Structure 1
Amino acid sequence: MTIYLNGASLDFVQIDKIINHHELVAIDQKAIQQIMSSRQTVERHILAGDVIYGINTGFGKFSDQLISNRNIETLQVHLLRSHACAVGEAFSDRVVRLMLLLRANALAKGYSGVRPDIIQALIDCLNKGVIPVVPSQGSLGASGDLAPLAHLALVLIGEGEAVYKGKKLSGADALSAAGLSPIQLKAKEGLALINGTQAMTATGCAAFMDMTRLMVAANRTAALTFEALRGVEEAFWDESHQVRVFPEQIQAAQTMMGYLKGSKLTTHQGDLRVQDAYSLRCIPQVHGAIQRVMNRVQEDLLIEINAATDNPLIFAQSGHVISGGNFHGEPIAFAMDFLGIAAAELATISERRIERMVNPQLNNGLPAFLSAEPGLQSGFMITQYVAASLVSENKVLAHPSSVDSIPSSANQEDHVSMGTTAARKAVQIIGNTRRVVAIEALCAAQAADFHGSEFLAKETHAFYQEIRSLVPFVVQDKSLSASIEKLAEAI
């Protein structure tokens, strides 16, 4: 099956098929006319001798520097070479493939003034498995993700570096190995390739998809922990959630009740206690609020992946060429900061449940630190330390990037979003949180064994069996690092 790009209808279902299941991509033929009309508008302005930013002028502070027609194409190549100075660890193959996809989709919208050949070049790399090497540090998140996208674009002209079938090659060699040829840039096309938000948005999409899977695991883990601690189930009854109205909170409570249906370990008010600690009682309120953030982040990402984010924008119908600021990453910077904060909170409440399971003063009769021989063996004592360390690290990482700005280009670009930094931090936080949830799942399964797994609800027992298929009951002290990582990977 081929997925067709038109710059308006790409969604996460399609993204999953393309990125995770390697569906092929093509330009929607209905979009070609708009793309061509936009390109023809650029060429008419060049013939008329009009001065237009990025077409026959320099860039940034050099925007008032006029470029002669004979140097217009050279200008585009110089742009890519000079801007490709990002540093640090390379983005993952998945994120780079997302960059190729999202930049192609943005250009297919038909307001960037490029030829279809440029879009096809991006699609060819995606379909053929040519993955540009893109360092992850160096974007300010305004004027687009200039440095990362320049590394991406260099490969299209046969420069830079790319990975093909697991081998790092020069851009030219990677294209050749895949049966592709370098493209020749025309006016505006180099700028159109790099003046967008696709590094931050691609990173954000990957983070969001990871967080979506993590939320499912976190809900299942919380339900198993709830049984391990003999939770009071009235806290999840529908009546109290309906009167607060938040739909995500209502859904979270219903999800918990669904997971716990038939449990012989949950309790009622007055059986063992009247009410639980907040980390149990408030699961719907906290997990629901996190889901609400995710819904908003998804909405913002869907808008951005179908947006025209370069500069200038070419409007064929009116003939206008508008130099504006759609490359500014503020919406995605806010979304990624918010996603990072939400993920950090998911880890924070998870760690508190871990503490309750291992602490003999809080765990309702479970062995101290879930140890088979308390005292002689330390059991899960230090897993809580690890979770606490990850939670503390998340608190540092959750400081919003979007409140920062550093002027650039001789103060011409005097306010920036730091959106790519926000997205990269969100990825780190989600990775930490995945390990915290894995530790909680490890502890909850151990606690379930002490209670008797046969008393679990049907749904939580199925989850317990998934955990046990990966890690066994801990009879004797051993290093748990591999078990934690194995569960985190499964999550």
Structure 2
Amino acid sequence: MITLTGNTLTLKDIYHVLYEGEEVQASSESLENVKVSRKSVEKILSDHRVVYGITTGFGKMSDVWIAPDQVEDLQLNLIRSHACGIGEPFPEIVSRAMLLLRVNALLKGFSGVRVEVIQQLIDCLNKGIHPIVPQQGSLGASGDLAPLSHLALVLLGEGEAFYKGERIEGKEALQRENLEPIVLSAKEGLALINGTQAMTAMGVVAYLEAEKLAYQCELISSMTLEGLRGISDAFDEDIHLARGYPEQVGVAQRIRMYIKESELITEQGEVRVQDAYSLRCIPQVHGASWQTLNYVKEKLEIEVNAATDNPLIFDYGKKVISGGNFHGQPIALAMDFLAIAVAELANISERRIERMVNPQLSDLPAFLCANPGVESGAMILQYAAASLVSENKTLAHPASVDSIPSSANQEDHVSMGTIGSRHAYQIIQNTRYVLATELFCAMQAVEFRGIDQMAPRTRKAYDHGRKVAASITGDRVFAKDIEKLSNCLKEDHWNGILITQ
């Protein structure tokens, strides 16, 4: 059980909730803060104070006074009118993350919602009622208004949800778990949708997958080094300490551990004096991507514990401030940076694939064929990897450099962070396919060299991979092999093989 406080959620906690089904509960202290904040909202109503989103309309209509008997209608109309999401839904795991992050933010006690709203979010999370949220339609400022409105609909018994493998009406999902729809009161609709939880949820899932992929890159490239009889000197610790980047030092260290005792790895001058950059510069390139991953992790761990709605309530309601914490710029920039960093892992991986399949760049059989000429072997596998790498280059164009005014020019600068997080996630999926292709080719290359000469750890990886994809003994539909290896990289933990420290 993970106890949420609004301030202490970590990416490790999120992983347990998302991927291991860990349930959550609210800390008693955070619930007390929620109650205090709610009393402040009720006092604002009774005092007839003019406060944005509580006794006024929204956005450009913030100057419109709302009568007390229209407060519930105001909040319901807000959710329904803002549920304008478009396109395919976010993956179910991302919807689950949105629930978790939204409840954690509200537990900070700055939002003025009732405990009933908190509990409805927790119940949906713990019982596996995951709102169906369209991916497109958010500008990433004023919060992820459209996506989070679709999330909120399910709490009200509207919209649709994923539930135990089915796509059903939100009302039916609640009924199956004996939950009643809630009726929103003052401030609550705004508090549910004015935040960055769509882009941040997508960003957290993307980061967790990217981190795993970055570690797998090192294992796979180590096998490629063996397949190409790479030179170990380039990974000597002194070289990397001389530059000083800890991430680069770490990559080189893990590569040395992977290739330890390998009889296929060479020393400079033994076969050649220098390797190509795609081999020699693995620590420098992968290390730079790790620097980015560390930056992204830092920003995500701040954002998942941030109050991002508007207005925020302080000092027992004496201070209610309309600000801009909903603006997604910090996450937008982080997601664009993540997209570029992961795209580079694919970029250099594809160049290693080319070195294995191109007979002009190695002494391996042309395209790793069993019978070159009659068969084409891995020729088009490199084409497909190159296509994904080029697609990544277009997806890596930063979303955060764009902005477009909205709400009658009241909201005149937006982050596009949700677009950035979606693009980063797509790049990660593409990169996994590229790495699956490199793994497939590397396994074939070491077979030509002699698997009995492999390092103990890479040999374990080879044996693991061969359970998924067989050797190239003749041409076949290799797309099936790449799909299976990609799924293996995504779902399997490679326990006892992967070095993650």
TM-score by length of 2: 0.97
- Please say which of residues 53-62 and 310-319 is displaced more in the overlay: 310-319
1:457 equivalent in alignment to 2:464 = no
How far residue 470 of structure 1 moved from its aligned partner, in angstroms, is 0.6
Task: Report how far residue 161 of structure 1 moved.
Answer: 1.3
Q: Which residue in the other structure is 1:294 paired with? A: 293
Task: For residue 42 of structure 1, report the CA deviation from its aligned partner.
Answer: 1.2
In 1, the alpha carbon distance for the partners of 2:99 and 2:150 equals: 12
SS in 2 for 1:300: helix
Q: Structure 2 residue aligned with 1:420, among 408, 418, 424?
A: 418
Equivalent position SS for 2:15: helix
Which secondary structure does the structure 2 equivalent of 1:26 belong to? strand
1:25 is matched with which residue? 24
- Alignment root-mean-square deviation, CA: 0.8
Contact 2:105-2:306 within 8 A present in 1 as well: yes
Residue matched to 2:361 = 362
Q: What corresponds to 2:219 in structure 1? A: 220
2:122 aligns to what?
Answer: 123
**What 5-or-longer segments of structure 1 have no aligned partner?**
none
2:253 aligned with 1:254, yes or no?
yes
Shift, 1:361, TM fit = 0.9
Partners of 1:167 and 1:469 in 2: CA distance: 32
In the other structure, the counterpart of 2:467 is: 469
Query: Which residue of the other structure, out of 379, 396, 399, is the alignment partner of 1:398?
Result: 396
Q: Which residue of 2 aligns with 1:62?
A: 61
Residue 383 of structure 1: how far off its partner (Å):
0.5
Q: CA deviation at 1:400?
A: 0.2
Residue equivalent to 2:72: 73
Contact 2:335 2:421 in 1 (8 A): yes
- For the residues of structure 2 that align with 1:33 and 1:141, how far apart are their CA atoms? 31
Alpha-carbon distance between aligned partners in 2 of 1:318 and 1:194, rounded to the nearest angstrom: 21
Name the counterpart of 1:442: 440
- The alpha-carbon deviation at position 484 of structure 1 amounts to 0.2
SS at match of 1:470: coil
Q: Residue 12 of structure 1 corresponds to which residue in structure 2?
A: 11
For residues 287-315 of structure 1, what are the alpha-carbon distances to aligned partners after superposition, in whole Å with 9 as ceiling and x for unaligned?
01101100000000000000000000011
d(CA) in 2 for partners of 1:57, 1:45: 12
CA–CA distance in structure 1, aligned partners of residues 388 and 76 of structure 2? 44
**1:236 and 2:235 aligned:** yes
Structure 1 position 317, deviation (Å)? 4.3
Native 8 Å contact 2:368 2:378 kept in 1: yes
Q: How does 1:64-463 map to 2 (within 5 A)?
A: 64-317=63-316, 319-363=318-362, 365-463=363-461
Q: Are the equivalent residues in 2 in contact too, given 1:51–1:57 (CA < 8 A)?
A: yes
Decide which moves more: 405-414 or 14-23. Answer: 14-23
Q: Deviations over 1:234-276 (max 9, x none)?
A: 0000001001110000000001001010010111111111111
Q: One-letter code of the match for 1:84?
A: A
Q: TM-score, normalized by length of structure 1?
A: 0.99
Match of 2:45 in 1: 46
After superposing the two structures, state which structure 1 stretch, 184-193 or 42-51, moved more: 42-51
Residue 15 of structure 1: how far off its partner (Å): 0.9
Q: What SS does structure 1 have at the residue aligned with 2:130?
A: strand
- CA deviation after TM superposition for structure 1 residue 233, in Å: 0.6
Q: Distance in 2 between matches of 1:354 and 1:419?
A: 33
Runs of 4+ deviating beyond 3 Å: none
On the 8 A contact 2:154/2:160 being kept in 1, the answer is: yes
Is residue 37–residue 316 contact of structure 1 (8 Å, CA) maintained in 2? Answer: no
* Offset from partner CA, 1:450-477 (integer Å, 9 cap, x none): 0111111111111111111111111011
Equivalent position amino acid for 1:386 in 2: A
Report the alpha carbon displacement of residue 318 of structure 1 after superposing the two structures with TM.
6.5
Identity %: 57
Counting matched residue pairs gives 489
Whether the aligned pair in 2 keeps the contact of 1:41 and 1:316 (CA below 8 Å) is no
Q: Shift in Å at residue 173 of structure 1?
A: 1.3
Amino acid at match of 2:454: L
The Cα offsets for residues 348-395 of structure 1, whole Å up to 9 and x where unpaired, read as 0000000000011112x1101100111111111110000000000000
Aligned pair in 2 of structure 1 residues 407, 213: CA closer, same or farther (>3 Å)?
A: same
How far, CA to CA, are the matches of 2:166 and 2:238 in structure 1? 58
Q: Structure 2: state its 5+ residue gaps.
A: 490-501
Amino acid at match of 1:289: A
Partner of 2:493: none
